[in-house]
Chains A and B, each alone.
Chain A
């Protein structure tokens, strides 16, 4: 007999705050949401009368659009605020911006911000549900969830799989969310990248760090390639993109070290030819496009569970 779990009213700040059972509930709910995405008329009344604001202090294509569509498919009213077109350019503080949004009686705020901890700060400041859509290098929990969803969909399970996370771990909120979520779901995590881009201090118990990406890839069920940023090169963290691609890039030869049916993920946007070769990015092993679709499903699941309580909520039934 399983205990009733409700995520109603919960803030989603980082996956570290969720139990394996709660993550399981989100993934299972996302499965039914994905079916809806394949319907001819993609519209549900679940969130009719609910309002959602996306508050983005950093540029984004897929994450913001994904949240917006997820909300709209479920019948919510979704308003987008970006820093360049709001009072933020007039120097309004984060607290005041949040107060303003709260005063309009919104139910959820989806927030992306450059500063680590900004979403948690928001959760302390205002009442609406806060969903962290990326706070600096700290966390991007919905990305972590959609990676789990994609892996499970392709592999049929999570427990016992081996993942290799490659590249800029140090600055990656995706890596931190993956590590937090995957550890909980029993995935064996191996990370590799230039030493300058891997934290000097342990991220979490049980994560295996390699210097050579080949050692991380060896026998992997899943490989996630992280985006490399040009500004890191200018900061002296690695010499050139050419050398990066040669020593740390995922190409066909290196891919062959993994299991034959290895799944390749990338949170996007990709720098093809740097961290990932085009042939790998578009190979049959790649689920990079499906991740985008799954992202919508996972975010629909989050909205449903947070704003209505989902299937365990009586009103929903």
Chain B
């Protein structure tokens, strides 16, 4: 099986490419990248007026298997992924049961083979994500877990986190930390600030994140181990990570489109779609996140795709679960809000969604080098569309971007040489 993508503008940040080129794909690999490639046996994919990039990688999604299939499963989640231009997603272990054994990692990896996108499994750092005892981190590493996280929970016990960092260092695996100090955010449903004071909603202060990020970094430095800060959201936390990187501490960080584009004033307490952890914060925080993304303090963009069943989200704000599905809106939001407003170059956004996560997590993907697996995304930068959660492939709803007019949309997604998504349809 040979596919030939013709006449697209190829942006491959890893290889410093941004020009009109053709890409020849043989079976699941990229066979050639160059000008005017012709192959009369190949199935020609016309990418005129389109942008061709490495397949997006999302290191932070919740595909809800096992146990929470009313919210999402690997099939619906992978459909959402490829519709959003993602060819590889890493799913978090806060499921039922929690993914904290090698047996679960293996069975989910196998289950992932049925999905449209590559699915990486993130294991829990502690048993049941309870923060008390270490999970079998070595076994899960051998079973193929890509990284470890107690996402959704902060590991309050510093000794446990230090142990996990020490224990995992020789396996060269990274801990992804959901950094919000538990006591300070207990009961909180939005950023603590002028809006929470006005609405009477309990707040999650940014200092909870700052403290948590600082402690995690200090422990990583002490253990000479790697730590990755999940969904960074506060200005101080960005500054802390920037200083730590300068000092040579092995810290990396990710940010979401929602934290890069939204502020606390957008919270409407009759609609739980803005309820996320950590919360959307102030304009100052948002601007600091963009600055951090631009200067490399923040390594990558993730979606924190967190679907819930519509009836779970359609509740009183304080009772609704946190999170919303982000895979299908990420690129459109980033392109419309950041690229078109000249805040960041398209090639930088692509880098943060492809080469960067591959580099940090040691994934042999995120580039269009000859010989690489043919995970490729085709973008239509002229597509104008309105976000409609009824048209989502995910089972989730209640995105804060619903109703928003966006420009730019993934047009096609190729996973291991096969077309998985094309022009609005799963293939």
Contacts and interface: CB of A to CB of B under 8 A. Distances in A.
A115 B197 contact: no
Nearest to B193: A201
A203 B198 contact: yes
Contact of B269 (A95, A116, A200): A116
A3 interface: no
Contacts of A115: 316-319
Contacts of B192: 200-201
A117 interface: yes
Main secondary structure of the interface of B (DSSP, over half): loop
A173 B269 CA distance: 15
Nearest to A173: B200
Interface string B180-208: 00000000000011101111111000000
Interface in B199-258: 199-202
Interface in A112-138: 113-118, 120-121, 124, 135-138
Interface in A190-205: 199-204
B424 to A, nearest CB: 31
B316 A118 contact: yes
Nearest to B194: A201
How large, as a class, is the contact surface on chain B? Answer: 10 to 19
Contacts, number: 63
A122 to B, nearest CB: 9
A204 B314 CA distance: 30
Nearest to A203: B197
A77 to B, nearest CB: 28
B316 A201 contact: no
B316 A121 contact: yes
B201 A116 contact: yes
Contacts of A173: 200
B196 A120 contact: no
Interface string A90-106: 00011100000000000
B200 A116 contact: yes
A201 B199 CA distance: 12
B142 to A, nearest CB: 43
A139 interface: yes
Nearest to B312: A93
Nearest to A175: B200
Given A115-B319, A120-B270, A121-B270, A139 B200 contact: yes
A95 B317 contact: no
A36 B164 CA distance: 73
A94 B316 contact: yes
B315 interface: yes
B199 A117 contact: yes
A117 B196 contact: no
A266 interface: no
B311 interface: yes
B274 to A, nearest CB: 11
A136 B199 CA distance: 9
Contact of B198 (A118, A135, A204): A204
Interface of A: 93-95, 113-118, 120-121, 124, 135-139, 171, 173, 176, 199-204
Interface of B: 192-194, 196-202, 269-270, 311, 314-319
12 contacts: A95-B314, A116-B200, A116-B269, A117-B317, A121-B317, A137-B201, A138-B200, A138-B201, A171-B200, A199-B197, A201-B193, A201-B196
Given A116-B199, A116-B201, A200-B197, 7 more contacts: A117-B270, A117-B317, A121-B269, A138-B199, A138-B201, A202-B194, A202-B197
